[in-house]
Amino acid sequence: MQRQHWILTGKFASVLSIPLMLWAYPDGAPRRATGAPGDNTCIQSSCHIGTTTSNSPLLSLSFEGGTTYTPGTRQRFTITLTDSARNYGFQASARLESNPSSAQAGTFTPVGTTTYVLCDNNIDRPASGCPASAPVEFITHSRAGSTTTFSFDWTPPATAAAGPVVIYVAGNANNGPGANGAKLHLKSLRLTPVGVVSPKPTISSGGVVSASSFGGGSTVAPGSWIEIFGKDLSTTTRSWAGSDFNGSTAPTSLDGVSVQVDGLPAFVNYISPNQVNVQVPADIAQAPIEVVLTNSLGRSEATTITGAARAPGILAPPSFIVGGKQYLVAQFADGTYAGRPGLIAGLNFRAPIPGDRIVIYGVGFGQVNPAINPGSIATVASDLGSSFRAQLGTATAVAEFKGLAPNFVGLYQFNLVVPNLQAADHEVAFEIDGVKTKSGVYLTTAN
**pLDDT tens profile 198-234:** 789 999 999 999 999 999 989 999 999 999 999 999 9
What's the pLDDT at 150? 93
Stretches where the chain sits below pLDDT 50 are 1-26
CA 352 from centroid of its chain's CA atoms? 34
Q: What is the C-alpha separation between 437 and 429, in angstroms, rounded?
A: 6
pTM of the model: 0.66
Residue type, 94: A
pLDDT digit string, tens, across residues 369-409: 999 999 999 999 999 999 999 999 999 999 999 999 999 99
Q: What is the mean pLDDT of the chain?
A: 89
Residue 29's pLDDT is what?
Answer: 65
At residue 202, the pLDDT reads: 96
The contacts of residue 439 (CB under 8 Å, 6+ apart) are 427, 429
Which amino acid appears at position 186 of this protein?
Answer: L
In the three-class reduction of DSSP (H, G, I as helix; E, B as strand; rest coil), residue 363 is classed as strand
- Cβ contact 34:91 at 8 Å: yes
Residue 415 pLDDT: 98
Predicted local distance difference test score (pLDDT) of residue 400: 98
pLDDT at 1: 38
Would you state the torsion angle of the CA atoms of residues 55, 51, 252, 215, taken in this order, to the nearest 10 degrees? 120
Give the C-alpha separation, 72 to 186, whole Å.
27
pLDDT at residue number 134: 94
Q: With residue 426 as reference, give the H or E element that holds it.
A: strand 424-432
The confidence score (pLDDT) of residue 44 equals: 53
pLDDT of residue 197: 73
Q: Cα–Cα distance between 139 and 33 in angstroms, integer?
A: 11
Distances from the Cα of 295 to the Cαs of 235, 300, 355, in angstroms?
9, 9, 51
273/202 Cα distance (integer angstroms): 10
CA distance 186 to 188: 7
Residue 195 main-chain phi, psi, to 5 deg: 90, -5
Distance, CA of 377 to CA of 255 (rounded, Å): 21
Domains and CATH numbers, the chain: 50-193 (2.60.40.4060), 202-307 (2.60.40.10), 313-445 (2.60.40.10)
